[in-house]
Amino acid sequence: ASAIRREDYAAPAFWIRTVELTFDLDPAKTIVASKLAIERNPQAAPGQALVLHGEDLTLLRCLADGESVSFRHEEGLLVIDHPPEKDAFTLEIRNTCAPEKNTQLSGLYTSTGGLFTQCEAEGFRRITYFLDRPDVMAVFSVTLRADKAKYPVLLSNGNLVEQGSLDNGRHFAKWHDPFPKPSYLFALVAADLVCREQKIVSRSGKEHLLQVYVRRGDLDKTEHAMASLIASVAWDEARFGLPLDLDRFMIVAVSDFNMGAMENKGLNVFNTKYVLASPATATDGDFAGIESVVGHEYFHNWTGNRITCRDWFQLSLKEGLTVYRDQEFSMDMAGSPSARAVKRIDDVRGLRAVQFPEDAGPMAHPVRPDRYQEINNFYTATVYEKGAEVVRMMATLVGREGFRRGMDLYFERHDGQAVTCDDFAQAIADANPGSALAVNLAQFKHWYAQAGTPRLTARGSHDVTTRRFTLTLTQSALPSPGQPDKQPCVMPVVMGLISTDGRALPLRLAGEEAAHGTERTLVLTQPEESFVFEDIDDAPVPSLLRGFSAPVVLDSGLYDGALITLLRHDHDAFNRWEAGQRLALNRLLAALPGTGELPALDDAYIDAMRAVLRDPALDPAFKELVLTPPGEGYVAEQCAEVDPQRIHRLREEMRQQLAARLHADWLWAWEAHQVREGYRPDAVQSGKRALANLALTMLVLDAVAKGDPVWPGRAYQRVKDAGQMTDRHAALKALIDGHSPLAQGALAHFHGVAAGDDLVLDKWFAAQAQAAEPLDGGGVVLGRVKALLKHPDFSMKNPNRLRSLVGSFCRENPAAFHRADAAGYVFWADRVLELDAINPQIAARIARAMDRWRVLAEPYRSAAREALARVAGSAKLSDDVREIVSKALE
Ligand code: HT7
Ligand code: ZN
């Protein structure tokens, strides 16, 4: 398929104002009757054909104003060359689709005996013929008819207008959604479900009904999702003045789902992973994931649904903004400043692990892309996470109140419209005249237009006689596909200066009368700028990019001494963590060029790590983050040529040294952080568990190396008797990744405990696919993964299961995947081709495991190219996978 280009956007020739849909639901053959009130767009050129989208449908009837009208089919389109020559007319369509044959999980499909829809981005056209584009917004009325015994629950968007019985054991429900919406926000559910419900009263005194629908037997796992939904409603009202605009708000959980969740108006459909949780089945991370995804989808009700995207190039308008909002929500929910910092560190870790490599690889694209072949490939970390960073920078530049003013203006101007990223940035800037954002708006928008991660270099010089410290900041950016030259960006650099004895120094810039606090935001707009600070007696340590104030790679040029000062004393928790990571990274990178073992870690580094671990003023969750060395993927991104085996070896050796040298401290950490009260997934308890479980991991690692059975035995016992999943799962991983002989028994026990719970089984598969390769005689993980493909609990058709096994192996276990014998790549190619025939969206995600093949060292690079060429050479490839592999090979 040829590329769709942003510059080709044209408003549609017709609008659809209202839609009446009637579904006769049946998994084998569903009949859809659709009545569309169509209006000509007076701004469009006259005489145009009416071109509707339609995919995998059978057309039964097409009438315009009650008369038959001639039409023709083009690939994926229904073309009515001569629609009635009137400003407005009615089109009636009758078609069928086959939900049970729909393995793509886009459109109307079956899952565990129920019928569900997924319409974003282009799934509605797989249900009926329509102008399936986000700028066409219509009021939907929907009638659902189905067998009552098989599908007792019939749901769609908006309000339930009527329901009742029909002949032959069937029943019906009529729904009406008063808000005009694009087709991608349409949803229906017909299934045998039960629901937890709760009435809430909003600030305005209005009553709303909240419902969470799940399969029978899962109701006891919905408490956290409901609590998260209630908290989300309250938060959006308090923080942004945005109330729930519906009488009824529903969440439905489904176990076959391509992504995390979907924000259909009033009827959010969720992957079970982001709804179901009990202490026995879900980890602290799962609970946090539920809170953030429930929040995310709920917040879309305003940022995405009330104001939507003009076209799919503007996807970040809703996704970047909504990720920013869900991140802020989770931070506010976390509570203490330290817990907020932990959340921020987590988010930045995610950005660096996924978005930075994306921005440096063949799929690099701007936050607002310029072209695509398959829009599903552009639900990326760049659009979502980097997009959120762009919004965060705007908020930094205009301040918290300024951002709220900007959001207010955005809703005042655009409520009910389909708009662009430019409209959003303009509203934030217009509400803050004179701000650094407003003054530099055109330049700021390079963040939307340019791909690639900019590099920020900082160098400082101190003059004792003038008592001046000069900080010189330089920005640069490497070329990206189709973008050889880059313009300088507007970068907010939040910073402070620390004396070597740990004081935060007052900051007075040259030309200012007095100091303005100890932290400020420098706004870099030029390729190079110097900032002169007065009254600085001794050379300070600059603490730059606090809270990760811009999504860039920072080269601070700081040596160990300065990094240790920051780790000990920085007032910004993010930069304390960053300093610790840099110390670890420097040691790994220094050892990479050789072939020998990681040299013994120096006392200064070990002492600094011990000081963090033992510091009574620091949060356990923060300690866990500092004491975890940077991931293998992040280390790889620092290398011009990547040897995944060498990176794995050095990082494992670093962990082993930390385990051995801090043995007494790990013992203390384990003892001191046991949670004895009842389970709560809050920041305090989960922080303690995170640190205790890191301690257990280290103790097992060290014990296995020394042949001591005690700690593996304790971990095994934990797998057996832990009262909740966080500790059980951590103990299992400690045994697997610590290469303990007890791991197999623990896995068998864990599988038994899972007792058919799909989400627990997903963890069982993932733990094995992510297993650390042993350093002596690696290469064992692939064999286990291949064997697991044949396990009766495995299915290629369920995206969660597929991600747990194949996704985890190919995308999250570099040392197991990148094998000198190329067997990992052969496995990858086989799975991508096999999966492409079932579910191209998911196949394309797995295909992206090869994105960074060009930076691999030999023999990996040549073998990877060969595997890519094999996939690209397949005659029957979806557009989804073709786009990924052909870009990789370009
Ligand atoms: N807006 C949604 C994005 C989405 C999606 C969700 C489920 C399945 C397929 C999907 N394609 C696109 C999810 C979100 O960002 O909230
Ligand atoms: Zn979203």
pLDDT value, residue 287? 98
| pLDDT level of residue 533 (50, 70, 90 thresholds) | very high
Ligand 1: which of 257, 379, 798, 842 to mutate, most ligand atoms within 8 Å of CB? Answer: 379
| pLDDT level of residue 446 (50, 70, 90 thresholds) | very high
Say which of 92, 297, 358, 632 is annotated catalytic.
297
pLDDT (tens digit per residue) in 131-186: 999 999 999 999 999 999 999 999 999 999 999 999 999 999 999 999 999 999 99
**CA 308 to ligand 1 centroid distance, Å:** 14
Region 749-771 average pLDDT: 97
- Dihedral in degrees, nearest 10, Cα atoms 639, 642, 646, 649: 70
pLDDT (tens digit per residue) in 469-478: 999 999 999 9
pLDDT value, residue 204? 84
Give the ligand at the shortest distance from the Cα of 116.
1
Ligand 1: which of 109, 120, 267 to mutate, most ligand atoms within 8 Å of CB? Answer: 120
Ligand 1: which of 259, 296, 377 to mutate, most ligand atoms within 8 Å of CB? Answer: 259
The yes-or-no answer on residue 671 being catalytic is no
Is the Cβ atom of 262 under 6 angstroms away from ligand 1?
yes
pLDDT value, residue 2? 85
* Residues 127/117, Cβ–Cβ less than 8 Å: yes
Is the Cβ atom of 120 under 6 angstroms away from ligand 1?
yes
Region 241-256 average pLDDT: 98
Give yes or no for residue 654 having a pLDDT over 80: yes
**CA 739 to ligand 2 centroid distance, Å:** 39
Is the Cβ atom of 726 under 6 angstroms away from ligand 1?
no
Which helix (H) or strand (E) segment is 28 a member of?
none
* Ligand 1 nearest-atom number relative to CA 257: 8
**Spatial distance between the Cα atoms of 355 and 351, rounded to a whole number of angstroms:** 5
Give the ligand at the shortest distance from the Cα of 322.
2
Task: Using the structure block, give the residue that is written with the tokens 């899952």.
Answer: 111
Enter the DSSP assignment of 806: I
pTM score over 0.95? yes
Region 562-566 average pLDDT: 98
Give yes or no for residue 777 having a pLDDT over 90: no
CATH 1.20.120.450 fits 455-556, yes or no: no
* Ligand 1 nearest-atom number relative to CA 106: 9
Q: Which CATH class is domain 4-191?
A: mainly beta
* Ligand 1 nearest-atom number relative to CA 304: 1
DSSP letter string over 338-393? Answer: HHHHHHHHHHHHHIIIIIHHHHHSTT---SS-SEES-GGGG--HIIIIIHHHHHHH
Closest Cα to atom 11, ligand 1: which residue? 120
| pLDDT level of residue 732 (50, 70, 90 thresholds) | very high
Q: What percent of the chain has pLDDT over 90?
A: 99
| pLDDT level of residue 258 (50, 70, 90 thresholds) | very high
CA 796 to chain centre: 22
Task: Enumerate the β-bridge partners of residue 140.
Answer: 19, 177
| pLDDT level of residue 858 (50, 70, 90 thresholds) | very high
**Spatial distance between the Cα atoms of 457 and 729, rounded to a whole number of angstroms:** 41
**CA 839 to ligand 1 centroid distance, Å:** 15
Is the Cβ atom of 668 under 6 angstroms away from ligand 1?
no
**Spatial distance between the Cα atoms of 13 and 50, rounded to a whole number of angstroms:** 7
Is the Cβ atom of 259 under 6 angstroms away from ligand 1?
yes
**CA 688 to ligand 2 centroid distance, Å:** 31
Residues with Cβ within 8 Å of 790's Cβ and at least 6 positions away in sequence, in order, are none
Closest Cα to atom 15, ligand 1: which residue? 319
Give the ligand at the shortest distance from the Cα of 377.
1
**CA 195 to ligand 2 centroid distance, Å:** 24
Nearest alpha carbon to residue 871 among 846, 839, 854, 838:
846
**CA 834 to ligand 2 centroid distance, Å:** 29
Q: Which residues of 185-224 are buried (b: 16+ CB within 10 A; e: fewer)?
A: bbbbbbbebebbeeeeeeeeeeebebbbbbbeebbebbeb
Task: Return the ∠ at Cα 299 (arms to 242 and 434), rounded to 5°.
Answer: 65
4-191 and 455-556 in the same fold? yes
Give yes or no for residue 1 having a pLDDT over 80: no
Region 713-718 average pLDDT: 98
Q: What percent of the chain has pLDDT over 70?
A: 100
CA atoms within 13 A on the CB side of 408: 12
- Dihedral in degrees, nearest 10, Cα atoms 774, 779, 780, 785: 120
Give yes or no for residue 849 having a pLDDT over 80: yes
* Ligand 1 nearest-atom number relative to CA 296: 16
pLDDT value, residue 294? 99
- Dihedral in degrees, nearest 10, Cα atoms 545, 550, 552, 557: -10
**CA 318 to ligand 1 centroid distance, Å:** 11
Output phi, psi for 222, to 5 deg.
-110, 0
CATH label, 755-890, candidates 3.30.110.30, 3.30.1330.40, 3.30.565.10, 1.25.50.10: 1.25.50.10
**Spatial distance between the Cα atoms of 420 and 438, rounded to a whole number of angstroms:** 17
Average per-residue pLDDT for the chain: 98
Output phi, psi for 559, to 5 deg.
-90, 180
Domain ranges within the chain, ordered by starting residue: 4-191, 308-449, 455-556, 558-638, 670-741, 755-890
**Spatial distance between the Cα atoms of 226 and 197, rounded to a whole number of angstroms:** 8
* Residues 635/647, Cβ–Cβ less than 8 Å: yes
Is the Cβ atom of 286 under 6 angstroms away from ligand 1?
no
**CA 260 to ligand 1 centroid distance, Å:** 7
pLDDT value, residue 558? 98
Is the Cβ atom of 263 under 6 angstroms away from ligand 1?
yes
Give yes or no for residue 91 having a pLDDT over 90: yes
pLDDT value, residue 840? 98
Region 101-121 average pLDDT: 98
Is the Cβ atom of 296 under 6 angstroms away from ligand 1?
yes
* Residues 97/110, Cβ–Cβ less than 8 Å: no
Q: Is 699 helix (H, G, I), strand (E, B) or coil?
A: helix
Residues with Cβ within 8 Å of 616's Cβ and at least 6 positions away in sequence, in order, are none
Q: Name the CATH topology of 308-449.
A: Neutral Protease; domain 2 (1.10.390)
**Spatial distance between the Cα atoms of 405 and 288, rounded to a whole number of angstroms:** 29
**Spatial distance between the Cα atoms of 287 and 276, rounded to a whole number of angstroms:** 9
| pLDDT level of residue 84 (50, 70, 90 thresholds) | very high
Give the ligand at the shortest distance from the Cα of 262.
1
Region 701-728 average pLDDT: 98
* Residues 583/538, Cβ–Cβ less than 8 Å: no
**Spatial distance between the Cα atoms of 884 and 516, rounded to a whole number of angstroms:** 50
Is the Cβ atom of 319 under 6 angstroms away from ligand 1?
yes
